[in-house]
Chains A and B, each alone.
Chain A
């Protein structure tokens, strides 16, 4: 028996690490990876609550979150490639204009 709060705290730590990476990292790809880390933290709390309340639909929602994350990764990385092609940089401080 693992207390529910342990799972939630682990999920909170992962989410906080994601937020921190989003704030302090300057590389566009690493910022994007931090977003994936946040999604993973949320997924863990979904599964923990599903087990706690005996509701299988929590796991279905994890499935949907994963599908959205996959779609987001595909489109986001395509955008990163397009940005790099135009700017020749991946530093978010230098990508501050929508149009050159």
Chain B
């Protein structure tokens, strides 16, 4: 019962943050509500017994990635977004279709999944058991991931680097 209450409270936080992300027009407000969504999701992971994933969620997502976002928002001095004709068309057609799709998915899930329930803490998600699996069965994907990250670092440096200034002509 306590778990259900915790789930509902932090699920409500999640949804409120996600809706706030859509409503706010200034990107920094959207970024802060996204951080709230991610921290509440970490609590949901803890309720599912996934301790390692919850810790990584806070450290990587709410920490590293969102700091990067906030940093870029401040670097580019991004202001309020201006409404254009295209955005009004997107709202008129986008919002109802997404609501319709979401309602359809929820209806199917509630109809078909029956009474399947997730027992709390039934699955050990502590760092030891996760790393046993990660470094034995998933060793090759893990190593490939390191190559991916290396490529991403190089790509970010190349893309964000200031283009070479045109050399001033030497006097003859």
Write the residues of chain A forming the contact surface with B, with a CB cutoff of 8 angstroms: 1-10, 12-14, 16-21, 23-27, 29-30, 32-34, 36-37, 40, 43-44, 47-48, 50-52, 54, 56-57, 59-60, 62-64, 66-75, 77-82, 84-85, 90-91, 93
Contact = CB atoms under 8 A, between A and B. Distances in A.
B117 A17 contact: no
A80 B76 contact: yes
28 contacts: A1-B4, A3-B116, A4-B113, A5-B110, A9-B109, A12-B102, A14-B18, A14-B37, A16-B105, A17-B15, A20-B22, A21-B22, A24-B95, A25-B87, A27-B78, A30-B81, A33-B21, A40-B61, A44-B44, A44-B45, A47-B45, A60-B130, A67-B145, A74-B152, A75-B159, A77-B68, A85-B163, A91-B81
Interface of B: 3-4, 7, 11, 14-15, 18-19, 21-22, 27, 30-31, 34, 37-38, 41, 44-45, 47-50, 52-53, 56-57, 60-61, 64-65, 68-69, 72-73, 75-76, 78, 81-84, 86-87, 90-91, 94-95, 98-99, 101-102, 105-106, 109-110, 113, 115-120, 122-125, 129-130, 133-134, 137-138, 141, 145, 148-149, 151-153, 155-160, 162-163
B22 A25 contact: yes
Given A4-B116, A59-B125, A73 B159 contact: no
How would you classify the secondary structure of chain B's contact residues: helix, strand, loop or mixed? helix
A55 to B, nearest CB: 8
Contacts of B41: 14, 40, 43-44
A66 B61 contact: yes
